[in-house]
Structure 1
Amino acid sequence: MPIQKRGTTPRHRLGSESPCPSNHSGTVALSSRSPLSASPTNTHKKLNSDSDDKPSTRSPSHTTEASGPGNFEPPPFTDIGKKLKECNDTLADIQSLGISHVAVLPELVLVGDQSSGKSSLMSALARLNLPTSSGICTRCPFHIRMSSSKDPHFSCTISLQVEYDYVPHAIKQPNVTKRNPFPTWKPKHLTETIVFKTIYEKDLNGIGEILRWAQIAILNPSQNPEQYVPEEGAFAKENTLEVAKRSTEARFSPNVVSLEIRGLESPDLSMYDLPGVFSVSEVKDDDYLVDVVENLTRKYVGREGAIIMLALPMDHDLENSRTLKVIRELNAESRTIGVLTKADRPNFKISDTITYWLAVLDEKKQKVKKDGFYITSLPPEKALDNPSTWEASFFDAGAKNWPSHFSRFLHRCGVDQLRDHITKELGNAFTCSLPNVKRKFNSRIEEIRCHLNDLPDVPSNVEHEVRMSLKDFYASVKRAIDHQDFEEDCKELTEKFYAYLAAMKPRCIMETEMAKPRPQPLEEIVIVSDDSGNEDIGSKRPASKVPVTGSTPKRPRYSEPLTTPIKAEGSSIGTVSQSPATPTSSLPQNSEIAVKLSLLDIQKSIKHKTRGGFSDVIPLVVYETLCLRAVSQWEKPLEMYINGATSLLTRAVTKALESSLRKFSNRHIYEESSELLRVFLKDQGARQRERLAELYKNETYKAITINEVGLNYFKAQEKKQLEHYRLFIRLRAAGFIDSDLQYKRDEEMSPEEKQEQSKLLDKYKGQLLEDEFKREIDVAATVRGYYSIAATRFVDGVSMDVNSWLFRSFRDRVLDDYLDEKLGLFPYPTSNTYKALMSENPKTEQKREQLRKERDKLRAAVQKISELESSFTDYGIHQ
């Protein structure tokens, strides 16, 4: 049965359905369901004289549909072909821009196992006798783009699309992983296109030679590609291709060799050809390439917009294909066009062979797209000037090599049928994706615009910008220091500082002896001079229900003194401390670091330092020693205060810097100002610490005050409280007060409780002798009174010094003058000074340039899409 000739009948439907969604309201796809599917084909010569009279045998599923999706008159066939070309040309132009990371673009990808006939298939599709020997596309991807042109002149440009940087290191097979699919190769932000060579003569053998050298350049990424240009580069002139192949830096590259051909007779085609997947490398050291090449196939097959052409040789069972396994694992069968190559290889004299391949073509063995498998026969050992003629002769039903059993698949035999189909598939997919692609491109353009706003160019008037920005910064600092929020924060910090010191007031330990049992009410009262308590001020236990009087003694009397008058930290038995006026709930508990004044210790100190004959006079050194000991604990809270003050200041001035110089955040003026500001803050903070350290030394050098009125007032308050508590302790220790009853301060009691406690103390007060520790209580009251005076004075002095010196250096021109001098703006700045401040680091400049290049490419892509959409309107290809 003769083969159907191109042009004798309308073209059959090449796809079962349009890839466009049914509800798509924008551009109508150039699909097989639209009038565009009626594209004319070139006419072939008849294989025999009666072929026009004989009907061709076709599968019912591949009949032509007469209706399209839109209500419009179909354009002329020549217009349809033109628009399909425009679609594919626009897609190829956008692909060449290297912006596929922004939006998914449809692309044709030719994959297959090694020796599957891919190279011969690619040569036939491109109508070029490309080399089929090893080394042409075995170590990197290959992108071929061909476009017919009205210009009769031929042009061929080979370029290198560099998407990865080379980072060499030793590689073993375990180094190849999913996260690291291409060891030694690191992805770049943007694809760099390097033109390798352009020729204007249709020398097919010369093209093959250039492609070989282009791959050598790709595999030597650290070298200048120009030296590998044949007949021009120094290395190419002095070395053969075989020598170059043995001395490459890399054994593999994910970067792409691109071939773009334009000419009058060139087919409209754009596709990628990948290295063939294989199982065993030539040498053991290259075993890792098995996984690397498979990962490369996974990368391209896994792309959402990839239309996959899978080359499957008919001299091997399909089940042995590693590439088919990859496609299945990635669930990409619906995007795959199966191409059976080497149709001249099987032994069809064996009936099982025919049965097997009929099952494949009927999709009973393996299933790809609904279009089924295409079949080609392109012997690689033969140079085919006209593959179409060869295949027409081979697939002729009367030929001895091609059984008539396959005649019903004649419409899928031959490279020409495959080329027409994949061209339409690519055009359909691109047309459907146009709205989404354009939207994503515009969205990315807007993102880049925002990024570039943060990376402005150098202003035209550099001196003006520098001066005005710094002036605004200085003014912002002064406003921040004088702002109410800042002053309130400083006030709160000072109050916390004072509360911290108040909580450290010396604590008095009042016990001197062990407690005694309560006396019986009818017995004679024994008056004791010294006694001891066992409770903490402010703590409370359940009160005893036993009456205060009339009870039986609970324990015998003891007169042995306490061996440890100062209780361990955390309990403070028998101590008294005054609650500070400022709440300290947000401060650490300072009772453990407060000085403890034991009556017994004070007694010993007085006895030790009193001169003979003056036992009634308490030496001044006793008071001063205890006072200085109390204030010596202020070093830690002072450090906390200055840290808090400098932190407040740092936050305020840093915020001012951000607001004034943020637009220049990537320029040296911002970096230098930030660093100088940090140094200034550190230096001023250190000097302020030195000044405050002097204040602290003054307080710990000598106990002195001229505020005698204040001192007497605080002393009287403290003495009253201490004597009151001391009386309670003595009565409880003597047994007049129940041992479970706890002392309460005035602020802890209601008026009724105050009256009851006062009556209780007055009732038994007269039964005790005069307290022998009366002098010691007076000393303790004096120390606590002086502490209150000194703490108030110290907090005022510290706060005043910080405000009048540290903060003042920012309010006045101290900071302004410092920065102006350090930035070189005083006394004699030059134009180069301002330019240097407005310069930027190389990374920022590089980033801005990358963003601009990407923006320009995206704008060019959007413009091409808009032009294509406009041409669709002109041809009536809109709903």
Structure 2
Amino acid sequence: MEVDGLSGQTHANSFFGNLPYHELSPRSNQVIGKNIHVNGHRATSTNPSTVSDSFDIIGADMKELIEAMTALERLGVEKSEIAVPKVVVIGDQSAGKSSLIEAMSEIQVPRNAGTCTRCPLQITVAPDSEPWRCTVTLVYKYAWYDIEDPYPSDKAQQPFHPWTESDTSTTHFATLTNKDDLKDVLERAQIAILHPSQNPTKYLKGRKPVKTEVEFSPNYISLQIQGPNLPNLSFYDLPGIINQTEHGDKEYLVDIVRNLAKEYISDDSCLVLLACSMESDIHTSSAGSIVHSLKANDRCIGVLTKPDRLPSGDPVDIWRDILSGRKFKRGHGYYVTKQPAQTELALGHTEARTLEDEFFASAEPWCSTFADFKHLFGTKHLQQALSRKLASQIMRFLPDIEQKVEDRLASIEEELATLPKIPEADAYHIVTECLNSFMNEVNKFVKGKFPDYGFRNTWKAEKQAYREAITDLRPRLSVASQHDAKIHLLAKASPSKPKALHNVISLDDDDNSPEPVAATPTKKRKADDGRVATPASTPSRTARRSTTNSHAVTISLDDVKKVLELFSVSGRPGTFDPEAVDHLILKGLQHWGSPTEQLKIHTRVHLVKALKVALDRAFGKHKDTQLFALVQDIVFTFLDQRLVKHQEISEMFLEHEHHQPSTENHDGLEHARLAMLSEIESYRFTHRARKLLMAEATQAGKTITEEEFELKFNKDQKRLKDVLGADPAQREIDVMAEIRGYYNVASMRFVDNICRSMDVEVFEHLKEKLRAVLDREVLFVDGMHVQERCVLLLAEDPEREKRRGELKIEKSNLLEAKTVLGKLQEKFSTDPIRQVDWDQAMC
């Protein structure tokens, strides 16, 4: 007997004989004992006269099953880890896959280079009494990011890099009623998919771009085709497997295409349609290797294409072994199809099928050597088998799908129950109380009210450290002079080369003493090593001193002399231009910017710490809300804005100081100048006296120790002054005293201005202005009712809110999926004829 055109005889080499797989018998509506084989499957059949009646019933059911699965996919149930049975078509490039797709779907696809191979294509075909129509939809499951690095370190987590999984969305592209329009529209849809950053509708008309933004996309095009005499079929066509790119510069695309195939066929509910060209060595099929590596052979249907290109003289035994299941075994065996040649592409579907039938009926070795396998030849047999196998696969997995939907819904309900609800009744009161409490905390730490002294004490220490840092930048003055070379001539004994005396006490002399100068009594000089006595260093000052000292300017008496002579425009000896002194003064002020910037940075750190404590205290249990995140952002933005204002004022003060030396504090300047003059003259006298005593000792053939120098210096000061006489560098000493005196006055003025700016522009604004900003930006936004605004703000943080939204969407989709499944269950449980057929299919 024959069943649906398939031979009913039992084949000795049946490759399904021992597999426990049950598929729909195309013509059976009850279970009786007679066994037949359909494409190698054992099935039970009734009297042949009753078989054809139920096939139409099952055909209608196939349509509903396939439509239901398509609906589940559109609802995104696969993101809930619920697999939907599908047929996936894969094959190597040039394996004849495009022709096979055209034959099964009865449409024509574009065949231009690089077209219709760059993204998955979902094709759902169903019979309908209405005229032919096709709906083209773009389905976006992945977002594209233009990232330069095509090889991420976490490749396992990013199989389609630079594509990342996102919420599923769809865009209707076109609805067609003319088959002839589909080829062009499908090509345009492909172009739209490959331009992820553009509006897809712009490619529906007009000129087609030559280049695309991306070469491949994991997003897919969906074709829903309905019309008279069409088969019930749904499948995915994937890009052909490639082993290298055209120019070798984008090898990561090889991985994307392979990962795409693995993504689709790794699911146990998926049926794999593997296209293999008979003009190529089946051993080298990359697509076949992927199927094998994923252990998907039991779910695989092999399709041998291009039988007319079987190499002349090629042994046929290998193909007989393949068709009989002895080699390259596939769980659902192999079919063979013959599609039109390039010269026959204009043929309609009916003509193409007629030529295909004639080929297998007349061409060698198909009509003779392979005659036993004629039930496996032709697109019609493949279409019918695919429809039955897919419907059986769907029915097989329906109970599992229904259970997973129920389980996931229960899990969603459980998770939603753990997420707190948004408060509504007292939302405004809660928000304003939090803001009041926060501003109270700010006022306390800024003013330093008991017991919140921490910040004010820290600010006091920062000001002290800043003052010392600026002080450490005052010019370092060297008291050595070229005039000192003649001091040995004043010694009583005959001249001789003086020996050096170590530990020379000087005012930053040419021994490069690292500290600034100060006048010190002779007895104290030994104790402090001749260096400036300074206040005890704070930790901040100690940490910053090495930086500030390294920037301090060193000026020697000889440097002063050179500058005075350079600026002199008078011919009178001893006179100099006041601008020369201004030049030297300004040279010592040039590094104030660095410690001023450090003061701002350190103060911000302390303010941020204090503000965070205030926020934590004020918002407490509401720290996980959008209110807390918003207020924190507003507060720190406000702080940085005020610090920018302070910096602008600091730069203005710095510019003023660098403009020209000037002060109205005449008394203070004169006092500072006289004090520095006394100090410098004292160090200068000590320096010259040391040189003289060393020369006298050397001329007497003796050496002098530090202790002896101290005794002679203290005992013979009057004699030393008389011998040394007036200092030849007195003019330069007077100028040095003016430089240091002005620095002391100007630096303290600058420090006061900078610290005062911080007090007014930052601290006072935090106390007085911040609350108004918070009210404006927190409560009164976009005209929203303040109560609604507060309810929204008291929701949990955005990530948790996003999660709740995602769960609600997923729940809604799953409930709709449950409705779809419920309708199927109701249909098959209430129709006795259908129930018998489906029960037989599943038993």
TM-score for the superposition, normalised by structure 2: 0.56
Q: CA deviation at 1:419?
A: 4.5
Matched, 1:355 2:317: yes
Aligned length: 709
Cα offsets for 1:163-200 (capped at 9, x unmatched): 49999xxxxxxx9x999xxxxx999965542345779x
Question: Structure 1 residues 359, 495: closer, same or farther in 2, change over 3 A?
Answer: same
- Equivalent runs, 1:597-636 vs 2, <5 Å: 598=557, 635-636=589-590
Counterparts in 2 of 1:403-552, with a 5 A limit? 403=368, 407=372, 414-415=381-382, 416-421=384-389, 478=443, 481-482=446-447, 484-485=454-455, 487-488=457-458, 491-492=461-462, 494-502=464-472, 504=474, 506-510=476-480, 513-514=484-485, 526=493, 537=504
Q: CA distance change for structure 1 residues 629 and 249 in 2, over 3 Å: closer, same or farther?
A: closer
Match of 2:46 in 1: none
Residue 96 (structure 1) aligns with = 74
1:110 Cα shift?
A: 1.5
Q: In the alignment, is the contact (CA less than 8 A) between 1:448 and 1:855 conserved in 2?
A: yes
| Residue 762 of structure 1: how far off its partner (Å) | 1.8
> CA offsets, 1:468-501, max 9 Å, x none?
8987886676566457246525523532442442
Equivalent position of 2:334 in the other structure: 373
Q: Which has the higher helix share?
A: 2
In the alignment, the residues of structure 2 paired with residue 165 and residue 342 of structure 1 have an alpha-carbon distance, to the nearest angstrom, of 33
Paired with 1:295 and 1:467, the residues of 2 have a C-alpha distance of 56
CA distance in 2, matches of 1:775, 1:344: 119
Distance 1:40 1:101 in 2: 29
8 Å Cα contact 1:143-1:270 kept in structure 2 = yes
Partner in structure 1 of residue 594 of structure 2: 640
The separation in 2 between residues aligned to 1:804 and 1:600, in whole angstroms, is 36
> Which of 170, 187, 192 is equivalent to 1:193?
170
**Does residue 311 in structure 1 map to residue 295 in structure 2?**
no
- Structure 2 residue 14 is the aligned partner of structure 1 residue 42: no
Q: For 1:109, which of 80, 88, 103 is the aligned residue? A: 88
Alpha carbons of 1:643 and 1:225: their partners in 2 closer, same or farther (altered >3 Å)? closer
Tell me the secondary structure at the aligned position of residue 161 of structure 1: strand
Secondary structure at the counterpart of residue 42 of structure 1: coil
Q: Find the aligned partners of 1:335 and 1:116 in 2 and give their Cα distance.
A: 20
**CA deviation vs aligned residue, 1:318-377 (integer Å, no higher than 9, x gap):** 32899x3466489867446352346975889x9855324124446787x47566534457
Cα RMSD for the two superposed structures: 7.9
Q: Which amino acid aligns with 2:237?
A: D
Checking the alignment, whether the CA contact within 8 Å between 1:341 and 1:376 is kept in structure 2 is: yes
Q: Which residue among 751, 761, 770 is the counterpart of 2:720?
A: 770
Q: Which residue of 1 aligns with 2:521?
A: none
Hey, what's the Cα distance between the residues in 1 that align with 2:444 and 2:598?
20
Report if aligned partners of 1:508, 1:598 keep a CA contact under 8 Å in 2: yes
Q: Tell me the equivalent position of 2:527.
A: none
Task: State the AA in 1 paired with 2:74.
Answer: S
| Partner residue of 1:215 out of 145, 167, 186 | 186
Letter in 1 for 2:317: T
**Aligned pairs (5 A) from 1:673-692:** 681-688=643-650, 690=652
Asked whether 1:586 is paired with 2:547, we answer no
Paired position in structure 1 for 2:694: 732
Q: 1:527 to 1:586 in 2, by over 3 A?
A: farther
2:121 to 127, 137, 142: 142
Alpha-carbon distance change, 56 to 670 in structure 1, aligned in 2, over 3 angstroms: closer
Counterpart position of 2:710: 761
What is the correspondence of 1:82-93 to structure 2 with a 5 Å cutoff? Answer: 92-93=70-71
Give 1:678 deviation, angstroms: 5.7
Q: 2:237 aligns with which of 273, 276, 292?
A: 273
Cα offset, 1:714, TM superposition: 8.9
Contact 2:2–2:8, Cα closer than 8 Å, also in 1: no
Tell me, what secondary structure is at the counterpart of 1:770? helix
> Residues 326 and 804 of structure 1: is their aligned pair in 2 closer, same or farther, counting only changes over 3 Å?
same
- Compared with structure 1, are the counterparts of its residues 346 and 331 closer, same or farther at alpha carbon in structure 2 (3 Å cutoff)? closer
How far apart, in 2, do the equivalents of 1:664 and 1:859 lie?
27
Paired residue type of 1:761: E
Deviation at residue 601 of structure 1 after TM alignment: 7.8
TM-score, structure 1 length as denominator? Answer: 0.54
**1:443/1:474 Cα in 2 relative to 1: closer, same or farther (>3 Å)?**
farther
Deviation at 1:100, TM superposition (A): 6.8
Tell me the CA shift for residue 807 of structure 1.
Answer: 1.4
C-alpha distance in structure 1 between counterparts of 2:64 and 2:725, whole Å: 110
Residues 701, 216 of structure 1: alpha-carbon distance in 2 compared, 3 angstrom cutoff: same
Give the residue type in structure 2 aligned to 1:806: M
How far apart in 2 are the matches of 1:334 and 1:425?
A: 17
Q: Residue 144 of structure 1 contacts residue 271 of structure 1 at CA under 8 Å; is this kept in 2?
A: yes
Contact 2:126 2:232 in 1 (8 A): yes
Alpha-carbon distance change, 304 to 352 in structure 1, aligned in 2, over 3 angstroms: closer
Q: Secondary structure at the match of 1:41?
A: coil
The alpha carbon displacement at 1:160 in A equals: 1.3
C-alpha displacement of 1:143 = 0.9
1:132-186 superposed Cα distances (whole Å, 9 cap, x missing partner): 896996787431246899xx9999772311549999xxxxxxx9x999xxxxx99
Q: Are the aligned partners of 1:148 and 1:262 in contact in 2 as well (CA < 8 Å)?
A: yes
The question of whether the paired residues in 2 share the 8 Å contact of 1:190 and 1:850 is answered with no
Deviation at 1:761, TM superposition (A): 3.3
Moved more, 209-218 or 712-721: 712-721
SS in 1 for 2:590: helix
* Correspondence for 2:260: 300
Pairing partner for 1:808 from 741, 752, 760: 760
Whole-angstrom distance in 1 between the partners of 2:274 and 2:765: 76
The AA in structure 2 aligned to 1:300 is L
Letter in 1 for 2:544: S
CA distance in 2 between partners of 1:275 and 1:600 (Å): 81
The answer to whether the 8 A contact 2:68-2:821 is kept is no
The one-letter amino acid of 1:301's match is A
Please give the alpha-carbon distance, in whole angstroms, between the structure 2 residues aligned to 1:726 and 1:338.
108
1:836-851 alignment runs, 5 A limit: none
Written as runs of structure 1 = structure 2, the 5 A alignment for 1:246-285 is: 248-249=208-209, 256-260=220-224, 270-274=234-238
Structure 1 vs Structure 2: percent identity of aligned residues? 13
**Residues of 2 paired with 1:664 and 1:488: CA distance?**
30
Which residue type is aligned with residue 758 of structure 1? E
- The structure-2 alpha-carbon separation of the partners of 1:634 and 1:594, relative to structure 1 and needing over 3 Å to count, comes to closer
